[in-house]
Structures are given as C-alpha cells and as structure tokens.
C-alpha cells in the first residue's frame, strides 16, 4: 500500500451571497414554494435575455483577490450544452476559456502552498425531486450565482485536502462571498483522486468523487478512494476514469458514470452576453476594501496575542467566532492566550455535552471572559469552574449569558484565607505521616498529593496556589 502516493485536486462550488440571481432579479432563497422564484429568464423561455448582476461580479472578484488570483480584465460567458430536466434552457451559462480569475493559492495549515488554477462564474441548475409519484422539477434554484474554484492537483493526503477546503471556506466566509454551509450545499466540493507509485512523476488516471457534504465525508471519501485504487492496481487491473458518488451511509464510493458516457458540451461564447470587462481602477478599490483574511488573523493571534497554532487555527475556522473573540478581548488582550484555549476545550466540551450550537457562545463571550478572568485570578477553583459551566450550559430556560451570570452567583467564593485552610492542611499532614516523611526525604512531587487531599476536604472550592504555598511553609520548615 505504502508504495503509492495519492494526487488530489479539488473543484469547489460556492453559492454567492447575493439577494438576486445571476442573470435576472428573482430572489435567491432557500426553500420557498417550488417554482415561485422564477421568471422568463431563469425558466429559459424563448426570447428572454440575461442581464449580469453586478454584485455577482463584485463577489467573484473578492474571492479571487482573497485567494491571490489575478483578476482578468476580460472574461467571457459561454454556453455549456446538455439536456437535463432541471436545465430548462438546454445549456448552462458558465465561463470556459476565459474565466474571471486565474492563478491563485491557498496556504495549508502546515504552511504548504496549494495552487488554484482558476475561478469562474456560472449559474446553478434547478432541482429534480424524486418522489414516489415520479420526479418533479423545482426551478427556484435555477440561475443562482456560483463561483467554481478549481485547484491544481497539488494535494497529497486526505488531511491536506481538508485543510485546503477549511482554509478556502474561511476566506470565502470572511469576505462575505458565501455562507460556507456544506450541509445545505452552499459550499460543495468535488474531489479528483489518482494514485501513482512513489517516485513516479506522471499522474495516474483520476476519478472524480461527488456528493460529500461535510469535511468529514471529504476526508473519508478520499481516503476510501485511495484504498480502492490501490486494491485495483494490486489486483493487476487499471483504474477507469469515471465519476463516483460518495455513499456516506455505506462508507464507500459508487460508480456514477464513466468517461465514455461523458457528454461533449459544445461550449461556445454566449451571444446574449457581452464579454465582462473589469476596470483597473475599480479593481484597486476592491482590493483596498478587503478585510483581514484568516491567514493574517492567525499570524496576529500567534504573534501579538500569544495564542498557540492550534487555538489560532480553531478560532479562524469560523470567522464569526473569531470576530466575536476579537470584540471580546479588545479591552483585555492579556487574557487572550488563556481565553482561546478555554473556549476551545472547556466551553466546547459543554456545548457538545448539552447539544447546543456554537453561535450561542458568540453572544455569551463577554460573560465567558469574565468567568475566565476570575478563574485565572484564582477566584474560581477548577472544580468550581467546571460546575459553574455545567450548570449554566444545562440551563436552557434562559439565554446563555443570563444562565452564566446565575451560575456565577451560585458558585460562591473560593477559600483562600490562611485561617480557613490551615486546619485542613494540618489534618491532612497528620493523616499521612508516611508521605510527609517521603516528601522531606526528597520526593517533592508529593506536594500534588497533599494539595489534592486538602482540595477534597474543601469540596474543590479552595485556592490551589494558596494551599500549595501553605504546604510549602509547613513541609519545608
């Protein structure tokens, strides 16, 4: 198995966050009664003429600038001809030879650079809904604006593919180009996978995998496909160039169509649409209008705020989360390097345990920062913090910030004064004379044992540092 290396290139479709469709003024909406968001243009009625939506161009250009592409001064819309019931015109308008952006890159989380070939604009098709009484067609989605981002085959492992997709998603969401929702299909990924013997330069025959709607399924599908191809080759057979569908329930890919069945799309420039001209001055304005991108944000988190790479990556994966984090620590940058891992571990564990969605945390970050500060200052012991969070996150009767404030008021104060701690410590030392002797003989790590015993007596509500200091006084005296 290990004698092969995988070669992977992703084609990513992102639905643009516009109010209206790409060539008509119908609303872009999820759901809605079937065939109510339609007009002669997106229904493909004879004689209806497309008019390009300017906002679509602005968003495609932002996607290109955010991924280091060269935005083309001229690009051309083409017709991709094929027949399908959900494609009423008999062709899809897309960009073929001259796309709007070329030659970009994505930096993976390990620093490796994966190149982007091109970004082109196109319209989505409608939806065929297969039911018991037959198949029906809903054209609400027809004409929804998409960008397709085509990557070079620079990726070598399923993890690299996921890292590429995460990074790309972070850029698109940060720029307001796409909402990044893979489950709902506003971000879709097709993976091209081939394998080759290690040391060989030429690529093997590739298989395209579709139908993955989460990062998890992208990773699993690619890993599975690499294994399948290795088995085929080890059986002495050849890989067939084909399209396969990921079946997440059965955890396997299934053949959809082979290359022989692939259509000849007979692309030609759409005579109803002028070439798209992008003016250099306007482009400069777009460039000046870019916000801080995830890579710069990660660098700032690590460089200025002292976060580790894992926490910085984790925050930047969800731009709204990083936005909330930035707002919250604006007045307390010194707490940032404690607050980020606090969110990533303790808070996230509570969300999972109580099955609550992340956005609730964004709204509760000021309250969480207050709690984190108390904890760091020793005003909340570890056990108290865990109980507080558990109480607050299990409380669904009130908004999370209120639940946190309430749990905080119940937590009480940490015991740190000598008068209260001393008798407990004396009792512990009296109870374990053997350990005391060992400690004094040099086993200094036993201090943890004594702190733990004292903590237990105090139901976890004591200041561990104060206990340790008192212990040291007594044991080293």
**Which positions lie near Zn ion, rule CB under 5 A?**
24, 26, 39, 41-42
Residue 15 CA: distances (Å) to CA of 24, 114, 192, 211, 316: 16, 22, 21, 16, 21
Residue in the structure block whose two tokens are 């969110």:
343
Q: Which of residues 180-199 bind ligand ADP (CB under 6 A)?
A: 192-194
Q: How far apart are CA 179 and CA 181, in angstroms?
A: 6
> Of the two residues 15 and 192, which places its CB atom closer to ligand ADP in the complex?
192
Q: Are 327 and 289 in contact (CB under 8 A)?
A: no
When CB distances are held under 5 to 8 angstroms depending on the partner's kind, the choice from ligand ADP, Zn ion, none that residue 102 binds is none
When CB distances are held under 5 to 8 angstroms depending on the partner's kind, the choice from ligand ADP, Zn ion, none that residue 79 binds is none
Q: Does 200 bind ligand ADP (CB under 6 A)?
A: no
Question: Smallest distance from the beta carbon of 258 to ligand ADP, in angstroms?
Answer: 13
Question: Smallest distance from the beta carbon of 187 to ligand ADP, in angstroms?
Answer: 16
Tell which one of 88, 153, 180, 319 touches ligand ADP (CB under 6 A).
153
Cβ count near 205 (within 10 Å) = 14
DSSP sequence for 40-86: HHHHT-TT------HHHHHHHHHHHHHTTPEEPSEE-EEEEE---TT
Fill in the per-residue mask, 9 to 28: x = in contact with ligand ADP (CB under 6 A), - = not in contact: xxx-----------------
Q: Does 206 bind ligand ADP (CB under 6 A)?
A: yes
Q: Does 203 bind ligand ADP (CB under 6 A)?
A: yes
> Of the two residues 147 and 338, which places its CB atom closer to ligand ADP in the complex?
147
Q: Which of residues 258-277 bind ligand ADP (CB under 6 A)?
A: none
Task: Give the DSSP H/E element, type plus range, for residue 288.
Answer: helix 280-288
Question: Smallest distance from the beta carbon of 122 to Zn ion, in angstroms?
Answer: 16
Residue 84 CA: distances (Å) to CA of 135, 153, 168, 280: 12, 30, 30, 39
> Of the two residues 151 and 294, which places its CB atom closer to ligand ADP in the complex?
151
CA 408 from chain centre, in angstroms, equals 32
Handedness of CA 29, 34, 39, 43 (dihedral sign): positive
Question: What is the number of the residue whose Cβ is closest to ligand ADP?
Answer: 9
Q: Are 151 and 9 in contact (CB under 8 A)?
A: yes
Q: How far apart are CA 82 and CA 259, in angstroms?
A: 16
Tell which one of 7, 56, 335, 371 touches ligand ADP (CB under 6 A).
7
When CB distances are held under 5 to 8 angstroms depending on the partner's kind, the choice from Zn ion, ligand ADP, none that residue 158 binds is none
Q: How far apart are CA 231 and CA 219, in angstroms?
A: 19
Question: Smallest distance from the beta carbon of 316 to ligand ADP, in angstroms?
Answer: 24
Kindly give the pairing relationship between strand 77-81 and strand 101-107.
Answer: unpaired
Question: Smallest distance from the beta carbon of 188 to Zn ion, in angstroms?
Answer: 22
Tell which one of 58, 112, 127, 152 touches ligand ADP (CB under 6 A).
152
Residue 363 CA: distances (Å) to CA of 320, 357, 360, 400: 11, 11, 5, 8
> Of the two residues 79 and 166, which places its CB atom closer to Zn ion in the complex?
79
Phi, psi of 5 (to 5 degrees): -125, 140
Contacts of 476 by beta carbon, 8 Å cutoff, 6+ apart: none
When CB distances are held under 5 to 8 angstroms depending on the partner's kind, the choice from ligand ADP, Zn ion, none that residue 151 binds is ligand ADP
Cβ count near 321 (within 10 Å) = 18
Helix intervals (H) in 306-463: 309-317, 319-329, 336-342, 348-354, 359-376, 382-394, 400-411, 418-431, 433-440, 447-457
Question: Smallest distance from the beta carbon of 73 to ligand ADP, in angstroms?
Answer: 23
> Of the two residues 7 and 414, which places its CB atom closer to ligand ADP in the complex?
7
> Of the two residues 24 and 428, which places its CB atom closer to Zn ion in the complex?
24
Question: Smallest distance from the beta carbon of 234 to ligand ADP, in angstroms?
Answer: 19
Q: Does 151 bind ligand ADP (CB under 6 A)?
A: yes
When CB distances are held under 5 to 8 angstroms depending on the partner's kind, the choice from ligand ADP, Zn ion, none that residue 436 binds is none
> Of the two residues 109 and 270, which places its CB atom closer to Zn ion in the complex?
270
Question: Smallest distance from the beta carbon of 124 to ligand ADP, in angstroms?
Answer: 18
- Distance from the first to the final alpha carbon of the chain: 63
Binding site for ligand ADP (CB under 6 A): 7-11, 150-153, 192-194, 203, 206
């Amino acid at each position: 198995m290990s004698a092969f290396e995988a070669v992977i290139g992703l084609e990513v479709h992102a639905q643009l966050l516009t109010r209206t469709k790409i060539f008509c003024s119908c609303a872009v909406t999820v759901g809605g009664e079937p065939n109510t968001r339609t007009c002669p243009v997106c229904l493909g009625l004879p004689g209806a003429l497309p008019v390009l939506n300017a906002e679509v161009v602005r968003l495609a250009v932002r996607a290109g600038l955010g991924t280091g592409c060269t935005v083309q001064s001229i690009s051309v819309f083409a017709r991709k001809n094929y027949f399908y019931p959900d494609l009423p015109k008999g062709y899809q308008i897309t960009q073929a030879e001259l796309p709007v952006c070329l030659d970009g890159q994505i930096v993976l989380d390990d620093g490796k650079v994966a190149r982007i070939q091109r970004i082109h604009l196109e319209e989505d098709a409608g939806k065929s809904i297969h039911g018991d009484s037959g198949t029906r067609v809903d054209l609400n989605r027809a004409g929804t604006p998409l960008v397709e981002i085509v990557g070079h085959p620079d990726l070598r492992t399923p993890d690299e593919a996921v890292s590429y997709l995460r990074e790309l998603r972070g850029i698109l969401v940060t720029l307001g180009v796409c909402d990044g929702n893979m489950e709902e299909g506003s971000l879709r990924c097709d993976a091209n996978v081939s394998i080759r013997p290690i040391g060989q330069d030429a690529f093997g025959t590739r298989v395209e995998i579709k139908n993955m709607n989460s990062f998890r399924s992208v990773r699993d599908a690619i890993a599975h496909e690499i294994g399948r191809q290795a088995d085929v080759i080890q059986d002495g057979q050849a890989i067939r160039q084909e399209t396969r569908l990921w079946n997440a329930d059965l955890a396997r890919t299934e053949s959809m169509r082979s290359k022989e069945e692939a259509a000849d799309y007979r692309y030609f420039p759409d005579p109803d649409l002028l070439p798209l001209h992008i003016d250099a001055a306007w482009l400069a304005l777009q460039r000046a209008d870019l916000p801080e991108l995830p890579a710069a944000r990660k660098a700032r988190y690590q460089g200025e705020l002292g976060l580790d790479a894992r926490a910085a990556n984790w925050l930047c994966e969800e731009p709204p989360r990083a936005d909330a984090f930035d707002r919250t620590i604006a007045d307390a940058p010194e707490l940032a390097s404690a607050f980020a891992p606090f969110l990533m571990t303790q808070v996230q564990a509570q969300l999972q345990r109580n099955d609550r969605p992340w956005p609730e945390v964004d709204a509760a970050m000021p309250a969480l920062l207050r709690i984190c500060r108390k904890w760091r200052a020793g005003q909340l012991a570890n056990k108290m913090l865990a109980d507080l969070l558990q109480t607050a996150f299990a409380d669904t009767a009130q908004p999370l910030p209120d639940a946190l404030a309430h749990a905080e008021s119940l937590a009480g104060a940490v015991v740190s004064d000598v008068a209260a701690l001393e008798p407990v410590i004396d009792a512990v030392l009296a109870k374990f004379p053997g350990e005391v002797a060992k400690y004094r003989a040099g086993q200094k790590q036993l201090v943890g044992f004594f702190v733990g015993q004292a903590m237990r007596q105090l139901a976890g509500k004591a200041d561990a540092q104060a206990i340790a200091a008192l212990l040291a006084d007594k044991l080293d005296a």
